[in-house]
Amino acid sequence: MKSKERIPVTVLTGFLGAGKTTLLNYLLSQKHGHKCAIIINEFGAISIDNQLVVGADEEILELNNGCLCCRVRGDLVRSLGDLLRKQKRFDYVLIETTGIADPNPVVHTFKASELAESLRLDGVVTVVDAKHLEKELDDGPEPQAQIAAADLIVLNKTDLVSPADLERIEARIRKMNPLARMHKTQRSQIDPSKIFDIKARELTAPLVVGDTDDHDHDHHHSHGDHEQHHHDHAHGEEHENDHEHSHQDEFSSFYLTEDRPLDLQKIEAWLSGIISSMGERLYRSKGILYIKGQPKRVVFHGVQTMFEASPERFWNNGEKRQSQLVFIGRNLDEATIRSGFQNCVIG
């Protein structure tokens, strides 16, 4: 019962200029039925379309649509705790991280602190700039960490790249995170129901690999509002995609499947060993396990060094019993992981 009462939290992340604040502004302008508390990292710009009305509390700002905005000046746990203690009325929390932040420490906040009793992480939403992603990936590791952490990817500015470029970018994102659902957008405009209360971090969330939705194009285009972009990539712009991507080469995601049952003690020890030895290099892990003697599917979900596993539901009649696991990270030893997994198989 308690888990139903916890307030859901969505973390908005994405590299500098991808469209996070634009997405936040858009969500706040839509009717989605939630009374939101907005947490914005202290390094982020608090624009919210200039709709802020400063309340009596210096750190808690009230927006003119009734939402609350808290600028994080100290520890995130303390700021969220303050918000809860002040008993201001809200039923949803949106957190916008800085453009260079790894969202995983924020994810840990909702698992390893007293906040877990009051708040639940609903999902990590990563906004990706379709026009500049490839250069950003080649320049440094931050965008990879943000993409790997995502439960939902908003592939933004899709109108600024050619269809062929977009297809290549999608494939590159899929290689980094085969788990996340992907929505293509322009100016970060997306149906709020695809962002709010998606329960992506619940153990019961389905394991779906490579799920891409159609464009969210149910919005209005006004002429000349595109900051002079106008498809300037069409004039002989060269893509640096033919050379080796050194940062990309360090990054991998792979998928394991096995129809034979697994030994419970061996798989527990193997998973614990992988997660403790890989540490922060293992961004995400998730799976469904077919355990010998267990009438239910066992699901597990890991973020870096933290993971949880539990029996979920009974296998359905006629349902194929099969283990499926996904690992996403940097410098992962795929061969060793695959070999260790096979040692857990019975028969």
Closest CA to 170 of 216, 212, 233: 212
Answer whether 129's CB lies under 8 Å from 15's CB. Answer: yes
Instruction: Measure the CA–CA gap between 181 and 201, rounded to whole angstroms.
Output: 13
d(CA 193, CA 58): 32
User: Tokens 């932040």, residue?
Assistant: 101
User: Which has the closest alpha carbon to 287: 326, 242, 318?
Assistant: 326
Report the first-to-last Cα separation within the chain, whole angstroms.
Answer: 40
Question: What pLDDT does residue 56 have?
Answer: 35
pLDDT value of position 279: 74
Identify the pLDDT of residue 14: 92
Helix (H, G, I), strand (E, B) or coil at 51: coil
Measured at the alpha carbon of residue 41, what is the angle toward residues 81 and 32, in degrees to the nearest 5?
75
- Three-state secondary-structure class, residue 175: helix
The predicted pLDDT at position 306 comes to 76
Looking at residue 239, what is its pLDDT? 37
Query: What local confidence, expressed as pLDDT, does residue 248 receive?
Result: 53
> Helices in the chain by DSSP H: which ranges?
2-5, 20-29, 76-85, 104-109, 133-139, 142-149, 163-176, 246-249, 264-278, 334-342
Does the predicted TM-score (pTM) go above 0.85?
no
What would the DSSP string read from start to end of 211-254? -BPPP---S---TT-STT-TTGGGTTPPPTTSS--HHHHTEEEE
310 beta partners: 299
Q: Which amino acid is at 293?
A: G
What are the pLDDT tens digits along the chain (347 aa)?
A: 344 589 999 999 998 889 988 898 889 888 888 988 888 764 434 444 334 333 334 456 556 556 666 666 557 787 788 788 876 778 999 988 877 678 888 888 887 778 888 999 999 999 999 999 998 888 778 888 899 999 999 999 999 999 999 999 999 999 899 989 999 999 999 999 999 999 998 877 777 776 666 555 444 333 333 333 333 333 333 333 333 444 455 777 888 999 999 999 999 999 989 888 887 788 888 889 999 999 999 998 887 777 788 898 899 888 899 999 988 888 888 999 999 999 999 97
CB of 90 within 8 A of CB of 6?
A: no
Nearest to 141 by CA among 341, 344, 329: 329
| pLDDT score for 261 | 96
Tell me the two tokens of residue 2: 């308690």
Please tell us whether the domain made up of 2-249 is placed in CATH 3.40.50.300.
yes
CA distance 287 to 295: 17
Domain ranges of the chain: 2-249, 251-342
User: What are the helix and strand counts (H, E) for the chain?
Assistant: 10, 14
Count of other CB atoms within 10 angstroms of residue 79:
19
Residue 77 class from Cβ within 10 Å (0-12 exposed, 13-18 middle, 19+ buried)? middle
Domain 251-342 in CATH 3.30.1220.10? The answer is yes
